[in-house]
Structure 1
């Protein structure tokens, strides 16, 4: 009987490894300002993209990305601790609920191909529970997901996403904070380590010339490590926060 049990455990372990192989998503932010951004769609592999609202190439990029079955989300400018200028379509802490939600809804209406949202900057606003709740209310009503760019360690965005039942995830690595090959390879190795340890990893990159040149090599490196590159929508958490009921409190 004991050898039979060992055989079953070996089969289950093999099946588990095959079904739960490490997966990684690479999300290219800040898309839309330059015609050269369109060249990121020529890179072979399931990259994902975040378009800045009201930029010159945002609409054409989102249309083409959708036609290629690539994930495209809206990169919504949000207030930063630095007070840096945000550009059109920004969400700020001085907005009331009506103004914030109207700003977000208008941008989403202008880009019907987007399937989710992430924050552009936002180190200040994402710390604020109430604006994040208003944001997630809109995303819930539109069945959109949220990726927290994690520009603040104190971000409340995912907590509010879970509270409102919005599918969500967060960035693990910025791939090209320093856009040279040595530094990007260092960040890629961090991503690979995270993915192998937890089964998943999300990197954010940008359409810098150096990054565009590096990405094909990065995708090949992932393959060599046995890691699957997937759309960011495949790495979402769907578990809502369960609020304590009166019965639980008793």
Structure 2
């Protein structure tokens, strides 16, 4: 009985050992499975992450390439556009330069043409009055106004008026003499459009006003005529005043018919008095009515004593200069009238030594 119990216990003990081994094996197996699962999952996760990283890197690389490609394309576009702009600017600059050069050439040509026209016009203006025949009526010079012989203690005064001044060469010729000589400017016309501008640059000047002559046919524009009304003469003098705002003295250009008509002279002197302008009679005709009209207005008559260049000969002009000096000495003063001809200017220049015997003055210093 005891032996059976011992054998049975031993048998049960072996069974328990087997069960324990089986359980241990199962536990190890389960542990391996669990461990394998966890380790495999971690590796798989790492592998997945790694693949995602690689994929992301590839995607980033592609994007970067695309961006680089786009940037390069954009840079290329910008460069191309910049080249186009620079090309257009260069073309514009070249065109502007060409246009500017063309404009300068055109302006130069126009200026040259203008200068040539002015020279031609000036030459024509100078040629128009190559002698003084238009200033006197007939071959014989009108006698100077009657004057008293006076004795003076100081030097006699002589005023030389140069008529027909109208272009720059006239002004230059007179100014180069370096003498106090009065320039009497013709009003502007087609041939001498700037005579009033030239006068404006002088400290003192006169106006040589065109008036109707008996035989002289080459009249200036707006020549005063005998039949002109008071209103028309007044309007003309107002125009002259606008052109020559500082004018204080006027003498007649031609005018043999006008100055020999008392009514016409009276209408003129009336207007000149209103404008505070003095009239100097060029005395182009012996029958001038200016003296009697001036007397009626109780004003002093002032007229030309000597014509210097009725004959355009240098020696003759010199003799007339001497005559003017003698008249000045005899009467205390004298007015000589000449023109801007080469021989007249030369004769005056060569007679400078003679002027020591008189005081050469502008007409506003004469009386």
Report the TM-score, using the length of structure 2 for normalisation.
0.55
Change (3 A) 1:60 1:192: same
Indicate the RMSD between aligned Cα atoms, in angstroms: 1.7
Q: Considering only CA atoms, is the larger Rg found in Structure 1 or Structure 2? A: 2
Match of 2:255 in 1: 122
Q: Which residue of 313, 317, 331 corresponds with 1:198?
A: 331
Q: 1:23 aligns with which of 157, 160, 167?
A: 157
Q: 1:92 to 1:139 in 2, by over 3 A?
A: same
Query: Residue 309 of structure 2 aligns to a residue in which SS?
Result: coil
Q: How much does 1:42 deviate?
A: 2.7
Q: Which protein has the bigger strand share?
A: 1
1:163 aligns with 2:296: yes
> Which SS does the other structure have where 1:104 is aligned?
helix
Unaligned runs of 5+ in 2: 1-150
Alignment counterpart, residue 362 of structure 2, candidates 226, 231, 243:
231
Kept in 2: contact 1:140–1:165 (CA 8 A)? no
CA contact (8 A) 1:73 1:118 kept: yes
Question: Using a 3 Å threshold, how does the CA distance of structure 1 residues 48 and 62 change in structure 2: closer, same or farther?
Answer: same
Contact 1:89–1:104, Cα closer than 8 Å, also in 2? no
- 8 Å CA contact 2:212, 2:257 repeated in 1: yes
SS in 2 for 1:184: helix
In the TM superposition, residue 165 of structure 1 has moved relative to its aligned partner by 4.6
Question: Hey, what's the Cα distance between the residues in 1 that align with 2:352 and 2:269?
Answer: 32
Counterparts of 1:189 and 1:215, CA distance in 2:
10
Mapping for residues 1-250 of structure 1, pairs under 5 Å? 17-19=152-154, 21-32=155-166, 34-39=167-172, 40-54=174-188, 55-66=192-203, 71-166=204-299, 168-223=301-356, 226-236=357-367
Give SS of 2:293's match: helix
More helix by share: 2
Q: CA deviation at 1:89?
A: 2.8
Name the residue aligned to 1:240. none
Alpha carbons 2:290, 2:301 under 8 Å: kept: no
State the SS of the aligned residue for 2:256.
Answer: coil
Q: Number of residue pairs matched?
A: 213
For 2:361 and 2:352, how far apart are their aligned partners in 1? 11
Report the Cα offset of residue 96 of structure 1: 1.5
- Give the superposition deviation at 1:17: 4.6
Query: Which blocks of at least 5 consecutive residues in structure 1 are unaligned?
Result: 1-15, 237-250
**RCO higher in structure (CA 8 A, sep ≥6):** 1
What do the CA deviations read for 1:172-231 (whole angstroms, capped 9, x no partner)? 1111111222101111121122111111111001011121222222233111xx211011
